[in-house]
Structure 1
Amino acid sequence: MNENKIISEIKNKLCEIEQKENIRIIHCIESGSRAWGFASPDSDFDARFIYVRPTEYYLKLEKTRDVIEWELNDVYDINGWDIRKALELLHKSNPTLFEWNSSPIIYKTSSEWETVRTVINNCFMPKAGVYHYLNMARLNNREFLQSSEVKLKKYFYVLRPILACKWIIDRGTPPPMLFSELMEAELENELRPAVEKLLEKKKNTPEIGNGKRIDELNGYIDAQLEELKHKADGMDGEKPVEWQRLDDIFLRLLGI
């Protein structure tokens, strides 16, 4: 897989999407395992973008679609959200927006996105963020890591949200995308050899496949899920950011 060629093709596809959909893409990033820093050699490219349509589109009485699902195959997974949808979710402190804002792999961005960025972190609500990642970790743990033989890559889909929870509780800010940064900041030293060994295997094996359950990691996961639930329940709630700030940005992007 020629990564540079595929990245160039993604950028070409963004231009094609803009022309065929009559939109402006103001930000596009990588959102999957490549952005998390543990992609396998055969991992696909998860491109996610935020777009703006012409002003008259937003003045229609008829409810219109706010998602573009452009391509999904073994190489590309490309889709985007309308800016109105993005700002509405940002008001709810949806963690996806914070991840897209901090992705280390950017395919396209703009001065318009910089306008959005001025308010993004002010919308972050730590308690909501902890519950989001905690629920993700619990669900993946229950679904993938309870048998004597498990899909080894799924450990990262439990460990990453656990470390994200710990980051939020310790710092009160959106967690970084890179797993290595989370691991450096939040993973206990005695767990690192096991995780680093698994990480090396994940990054260098086209299909990591199944393997025996790693009791050391499962024990850590079970203990953390219980502890994090207790801490999350004790966190203070927060009020969403004022709608006016998001309305101002929305109108500015539409040129109103």
Structure 2
Amino acid sequence: MKETILKTLEQIEKDHHVKVLYACESGSRAWGVSSKDSDYDVRFIYVHPPDSYLSIDPVGIGKKRDVIELPVNVLLDVSGWELTKALKLFRKSNPPLFEWLGSNIVYYEAYSAIEEMKKMKQRLFSPSSCLYHYLNMANQNFGQILRGGQVTPKHYINVLRPVLAAKWIEQHHTFPPLELQTLLEQTVPEKEVKMEFERLLKQKIAGETLNTAMRFDLMNDFLTVEIARMESYAKKLQVNRPDPTRKLDLLFQNTLEEAWH
């Protein structure tokens, strides 16, 4: 599959006249909970030629789109962000972008931009904005479970992962790792709760439906309490960060030179 992904990236470069800087896995495979029918969620960052940026309309305005998205099929979900879009989001401590940079499955990397961004990652990390992102995600996904209907292991994982990511931020003051098993082991001390969620992960990987013998009350109570507690914690956080714009400008300019000259 990696060969197919690399060929897809090469075709994107030809079709859109861009240079791909980085491509990684961002979904369940990066979380360590993929099943046999999981697709590949490929995310990438790219840069246009210099003359695309030397115009009165910046990239991202009007017809000058700052995203590339391929039609989703049963195996591949591929989309990417243009570099200036990515750097503006990086400046805001955007969690999805931070997750891309922390992915343990990297399909492609060229030039020095991504390495430089990784060096800056902790300095630009905003615990507050990341906490609100993960808690909003947890609340939305948990609401789907509480409203009833058919619930799968994936539904619970989509609540569990952001809750544990928020707990990691509280405990370690760093951006959380993507691997769900690592988050579970290091942020959930309650043995019974941890065992139930470990059963859940095994069912997801095996592609099974929810086991009716599972302690849903135990998992639901844990998620309810932790979401409320972390929301209270997030309101008290105040972190001042220096403005990184000049450094990001230089990173962008150096990448243009490196990629196209």
Question: Is TM > 0.5 for Structure 1 vs Structure 2?
Answer: yes
Superposition deviation, residue 60 in structure 1: 2.1
Q: Distance in 2 between matches of 1:114 and 1:240?
A: 20
TM-score by length of 1: 0.92
Superposition deviation, residue 83 in structure 1: 0.3
One-letter amino acid of the counterpart of residue 223, structure 2: I
Unaligned residue ranges in structure 2 (runs of 5+) = none
Q: Distance in 2 between matches of 1:180 and 1:93?
A: 24
* Aligned counterpart, 1:60: 55
Superposition deviation, residue 79 in structure 1: 0.7
Query: Residues 132, 238 of structure 1: CA spacing in aligned structure 2 closer, same or farther, 3 A cutoff?
Result: farther
Q: Is the 8 A contact 2:123 2:241 kept in 1?
A: no
Q: Distance in 2 between matches of 1:120 and 1:84?
A: 16
* Aligned counterpart, 1:215: 217
Q: Distance in 1 between matches of 2:221 and 2:149?
A: 13
Are residue 24 (structure 1) and residue 26 (structure 2) matched?
no
Which range moved further: 45-54 or 183-192? 183-192
Q: Distance in 2 between matches of 1:225 and 1:60?
A: 46
Are residue 117 (structure 1) and residue 112 (structure 2) matched?
no
Q: Distance in 1 between matches of 2:244 and 2:42?
A: 30
Superposition deviation, residue 210 in structure 1: 5.8
* Aligned counterpart, 2:163: 162
Q: Is the 8 A contact 2:153 2:201 kept in 1?
A: no
Sequence identity percentage:
37
Are residue 232 (structure 1) and residue 234 (structure 2) matched?
yes
* Secondary structure of residue in 2 paired with 1:135: helix
Superposition deviation, residue 211 in structure 1: 6.2
* Secondary structure of residue in 2 paired with 1:93: coil
Equivalent pairs counted in the alignment come to 249
Q: Distance in 1 between matches of 2:211 and 2:146?
A: 11
Where does 1:13-92 land on structure 2 (aligned, <5 Å)? 13-62=8-57, 63=61, 64-92=64-92
* Aligned counterpart, 1:3: none
Q: Distance in 1 between matches of 2:133 and 2:73?
A: 28
State the Cα deviation string for residues 100-121 of structure 1 (Å, max 9, x = none): 0010111001232213322222
State the Cα deviation string for residues 152-199 of structure 1 (Å, max 9, x = none): 321111111111001111111110010011111102322121111111
State the Cα deviation string for residues 46-97 of structure 1 (Å, max 9, x = none): 0000001100111122331000002311111001000000000011111111
TM-score by length of 2: 0.90
One-letter amino acid of the counterpart of residue 9, structure 1: T
What's the RMSD between the two structures over aligned residues? 1.7
Q: Is the 8 A contact 2:203 2:209 kept in 1?
A: no
Unaligned residue ranges in structure 1 (runs of 5+) = 1-5
Q: Distance in 1 between matches of 2:186 and 2:254?
A: 38
